[in-house]
Structure 1
Amino acid sequence: MIPHLVTYRQRRRDGRWLRLYVPVLPVLLVLSPLLLVAVLAGLVACLVFRVSPVGALRGIGQLLWALPGTRIEIEDGQTAVLVSVR
């Protein structure tokens, strides 16, 4: 399942939380021209390093499929960051 929402929360030094909700599909649509260039560059890199392009695309697809449910928490002193992928 492709991720639908990325939630970014950051605790500031004054104790307040900054929350950002990023919907994945609209961001993907806006950045699709750059995504096309990145895919073409990846295919060229696969040919240069003699890696199977189909295998590389399959591996990236499996990585994206596994992202929903991922939580990344970082805390350092008074600052804390939480990234959640749904």
Structure 2
Amino acid sequence: MIEILYFAWLREKIGLPRERVETGAATVADLVQELALRDDAYALAFADLTSLRVALDQELADFDAPLAGVREVAFFPPMTGG
């Protein structure tokens, strides 16, 4: 079971701040594909991966990162600062 957190506009599009999912996904990209197939809200939220960042157990990761042993996946837009 993996805890998935959604931040900023992802939370708004999906309508949830977090959820727990059972998944057989091997990588973050596989998980994204599973989620995008759920319904149109997920498909829209994950339509452009270049506009997303991901963290696994609170550490930044790539979409090809493995999910083995991961307890938490967080999706959020890129941060900007000044």
TM-score w.r.t. the length of structure 1 is: 0.23
Q: Which has the higher strand share?
A: 1
Higher relative contact order (CA 8 A, sep 6+): 1
Larger Rg: 1
Q: Which has the higher helix share?
A: 1
TM-score w.r.t. the length of structure 2 is: 0.24
